[in-house]
Chains A and B, each alone.
Chain A
Amino acid sequence: MTSEPFPRPFAILAALAAALFLLPLVGLLVRFPWAEAADALTSPEILTATGLSLVTSLSATALSILLGVPLAIVYARARFRGLRVVRALTTLPMVLPPVVGGVALLVAFGRRGIVGQLLDSAFGIRIPFTTAAAVLAATFVAMPFLVLTVEAGLRSMDRRYEEAARSLGAGRWMVFRRVTLPLVAPSLYAGAVLCWARALGEFGATITFAGNVPGSTQTLPLAVYLALETRPEAAIALSLVLLLLSLVVLVALRDRYLPTS
């Protein structure tokens, strides 16, 4: 275990960088309310928020797979004018402040929004303040992670397998199901997990677009934020649980997505 040579000052800067990430974790562990944690984590509102978070994040992931995989295929395979612009616009939520995303969703799907107005007058459907709004907000911010990951997988796969299948008489659907999909499965898996993790952590777009409604839009991050003011020990306990959950996701992805030595 001997290091290879590198400029020495980097060691200190690297240590500072690592400290930035490790100290908050240490803080949570030090302040973790061992005595009250069980009560805090099993209180009715936390259990409700946990259940809701699972429902909304998994629904957002399912929706992202249903719509995002076709989008990734179009991005990787189709050629048309304006493709790059559309691609950039659909990637925007990755860099957009989530609250801005929430405002954008309101003006599109809100009661006075361009689509929301039609939904309300034609079908009496109102999206804001419902679980559907929380799912939509989570999908909006999380789907780009899946699309980019699957698109990268499609671009790097060996196209000769598909060509071979085509030459043997398989149709487009057959090739997609039996050749393309299995080949991009690792990317799809990694993309879906990243997408789910982002959806689980979603806060800004949710509070702006879906509001804070216990039982229907108050997801775990919102519950943590509110608990910090009234029951800080519950917020700390929850934060550590969410952090450990994220760690599990990273470990699960270790070999498939993150570069390892």
Chain B
Amino acid sequence: MKPLALLVAILAVGSCGGAPRAELPTSASTAPPSGTITVFAASSLTDAFGRVGDELTTRYPGTHFIFNYSSSSTLATQIVNGAPADVFASADDRNMRKIADAALVQGSAAVFATNRLQIAVAPGNPKGIASLADLARRDLVVVLAAPSVPAGRYALDALRQAGVTLVPASQELDVRAVLNKVALGEADAGVVYVTDVRSAAGRVTGVDIPEPHQVVARYPVATLRDSRNQRLSSLFVEFLLGPDGQRVLGDFGFARP
């Protein structure tokens, strides 16, 4: 019967998981927030959320934040397929709706930031790129995010509004990959967010897109129904929507919703 005992032991360990299933409701309101949550966030939020996590951990010792950055579409697919996320911050409404349609959102999503597009070019703009129309120039290598990724769709919207058609040299899997291709010098230009150019800290120069062609990206955030630490998840979302979160996001170039 030893093999059976071992199997039982394995199954028992497996089903326990790591963290306790639920928090005790009695002490939850008084005790300081604690524990670990996993935040799935659009790749354009990489630097801003790193700072948000640091500030929250400083304010509430005993809290810990794990971030999973990727394109919002990849993250939405992962969450719908059961990835253990506590909070989801998307770069567009469409991917948040995917989660909501799967009945995985706790309460409702709230828009916490907006972002705008910019053309990332090599430092100092040696190729003299001044507008979206210039991106159609034959001598330029231009990369965009894939059309399934929010930044890719926003870029196509902006190009359409400017009446520009172009065949990108590559359709990258997320907006940070576009930024990196420009920063590495493999591409002459790429359409990214204003915040990406700012966080590249001089490795690329940003060329503004005039208002009529501009596209505003909206970033919704929501806590997820299956989160095992609803309290800390809500705290994270409230921080983002509150003055301190807005200050951090502003530091990184995001605008208020």
Q: Which residues of A contact B (CB under 8 A)?
A: 8-9, 11-12, 16, 106, 110-112, 126, 128-129, 207, 210-214, 217-218, 225-226, 228-230, 232
Q: Which residues of B contact A (CB under 8 A)?
A: 2-3, 6-7, 10, 71, 73-74, 76-77, 141, 143, 146, 148, 168-173, 177, 181, 184-186
CB contacts (< 8 Å) of A218 on chain B: these are 171
Q: A106 near B186 (CB under 8 angstroms)?
A: yes
Q: B185 near A110 (CB under 8 angstroms)?
A: yes
Pairs across A and B, CB under 8 Å, 21 listed: A8-B2, A8-B3, A9-B6, A11-B3, A12-B6, A106-B184, A106-B186, A110-B184, A110-B186, A112-B184, A112-B186, A128-B186, A129-B169, A129-B170, A129-B186, A211-B143, A211-B171, A213-B171, A229-B74, A229-B77, A230-B148
Nearest 9 Cβ contacts at the A-B interface: A211-B170, A112-B185, A229-B73, A129-B169, A212-B171, A8-B3, A129-B170, A128-B186, A230-B148
A173 to chain B, nearest CB (A): 42
Q: B185 near A212 (CB under 8 angstroms)?
A: no
B146 to chain A, nearest CB (A): 6
Complex-state Cα separation, A253 to B171, whole angstroms? 36
A17 to chain B, nearest CB (A): 12
CB contacts (< 8 Å) of B185 on chain A: these are 110-112
Complex-state Cα separation, A112 to B185, whole angstroms? 6
CB contacts (< 8 Å) of B74 on chain A: these are 229
CB contacts (< 8 Å) of A129 on chain B: these are 141, 143, 169-170, 186
Q: A229-B77, A230-B148 are in contact. Are A211 and B172 (CB under 8 A)?
A: yes
CB contacts (< 8 Å) of B171 on chain A: these are 211-214, 218
Complex-state Cα separation, A22 to B74, whole angstroms? 25
Q: B7 near A12 (CB under 8 angstroms)?
A: yes
Most buried by B among A9, A11, A129: A129
CB contacts (< 8 Å) of A16 on chain B: these are 10
Q: A9-B6, A226-B146, A232-B77 are in contact. Are A213 and B170 (CB under 8 A)?
A: yes
CB contacts (< 8 Å) of B143 on chain A: these are 129, 211
CB contacts (< 8 Å) of B170 on chain A: these are 129, 210-213, 217
Tell me the nearest residue of chain A to B7, going by C-beta.
A12
CB contacts (< 8 Å) of A213 on chain B: these are 168-171
A18 to chain B, nearest CB (A): 14
B180 to chain A, nearest CB (A): 9
B173 to chain A, nearest CB (A): 6
Complex-state Cα separation, A228 to B73, whole angstroms? 9
Q: Pick the contact of B148: A11, A12, A211, A229 (CB < 8 A).
A: A229
Complex-state Cα separation, A134 to B186, whole angstroms? 15
Q: A111 near B186 (CB under 8 angstroms)?
A: yes
CB contacts (< 8 Å) of B168 on chain A: these are 213
Q: A212 near B172 (CB under 8 angstroms)?
A: yes
CB contacts (< 8 Å) of A111 on chain B: these are 141, 185-186
A214 to chain B, nearest CB (A): 7
CB contacts (< 8 Å) of A8 on chain B: these are 2-3
Most buried by A among B2, B7, B170: B170
Q: A128-B186, A213-B171 are in contact. Are A9 and B2 (CB under 8 A)?
A: yes
Complex-state Cα separation, A12 to B7, whole angstroms? 7
Q: B77 near A228 (CB under 8 angstroms)?
A: yes
Tell me the nearest residue of chain B to A16, going by C-beta.
B10
CB contacts (< 8 Å) of B181 on chain A: these are 211
Q: B3 near A12 (CB under 8 angstroms)?
A: yes
A199 to chain B, nearest CB (A): 20
